Chains A and B, each alone.
Chain A
């Protein structure tokens, strides 16, 4: 084999490996950059104002939803996630460090007007969950997102009042 062909093959092989590693790293990098840019404490809830063109934390936000977010770290303690269920579409969902949506629970899946979730680390012990649904997080770090549909703009203030009652707290 001619030397220059060998060098081209080595370069392309190395480029292919770098390509795959870069693509695999993108979701982790996006989550890392989001954590850095928003600089928010973990295991605490942040209620977003109604989405407008000024909302630029996360791409493709839905203007029809009210969002709350809880960046989590369940490496040491489980997280208790609670929210009243409003009279509209509502869901709580979890996103792992690689951005996978590993769980979603919506208003139609709960019988009461209160949603309770205990988010626990993989393979880690946790206390009695009581009436909460236990969800195992595939990664210690991630984000829990609360979505509330704004069906009627005239009732936005009522929805915001309900939104503000949601919480996520480490279980001691």
Chain B
């Protein structure tokens, strides 16, 4: 009886540790294996039939049906340039220029990985709907309060994240994804 209880305890503890650590690693993937570029990170393994089990699991939970790198590269940002988590109580400015790709867009998502509700149904800024300066550079304003141009609402949900999608990007993105000049994410202030 005592031995049976001991086995049962071992199995229960192993289940808690094994499943708990699996869920943790899927929702908080380690930086190793990711390519960092400023506040952005990516993995060229996304969607690949050769991806490792951790990448595959993370993508299934946080970016299901992501295309492989032959078609699209996805960069994710969960922090600003200073490494601080993106929070809807703060305002941010994304400063950048057009990227060498057929199409690009930046989309804001809530902590649940879904779009952030807002009255204007504004969920992304992309290469077609941005106002630019004379030199082609742009500012995107991430804020829970409306802005005159290039506003991307961040709601009142707490933390949020950004997806930068690059459809059919130039070869440099595959060769040196860590060195491409990506948009900066600058904190402007918090309430």
Do A99 and B60 form a contact, CB below 8 Å, given A11-B14, A22-B18, A62-B107?
yes
**Total residues of chain B contacting the partner, CB 8 A:** 55
Shortest Cβ distance from residue B125 to the other chain A in the assembled complex, whole angstroms = 10
Inter-chain CA distance A60–B78, complex, in Å, is 14
Partner of A15, one of B14, B26, B124: B14
Binding site for A on B (CB under 8 A): 6, 10-11, 13-15, 17-19, 21-23, 25-26, 47-49, 51, 53-54, 56-57, 59-68, 70-71, 102-103, 105, 107, 109, 112-118, 121, 123-124, 126, 128, 163, 165, 167-168
Binding site for B on A (CB under 8 A): 7, 10-12, 14-24, 26-27, 30-31, 34, 51-53, 55-56, 58-64, 89, 91, 93, 95-96, 98-102, 104, 106, 108, 138, 143, 145, 149, 151-152
In the complex, chain A residues whose CB is within 8 Å of the CB of B10: 7, 10-11, 14
Residue of A nearest to B12 (CB): A11
In the complex, chain A residues whose CB is within 8 Å of the CB of B19: 18-19, 22
Contact B102 A60 (CB under 8 A): no
In the complex, chain A residues whose CB is within 8 Å of the CB of B6: 7
Inter-chain CA distance A151–B105, complex, in Å, is 11
Inter-chain CA distance A151–B127, complex, in Å, is 9
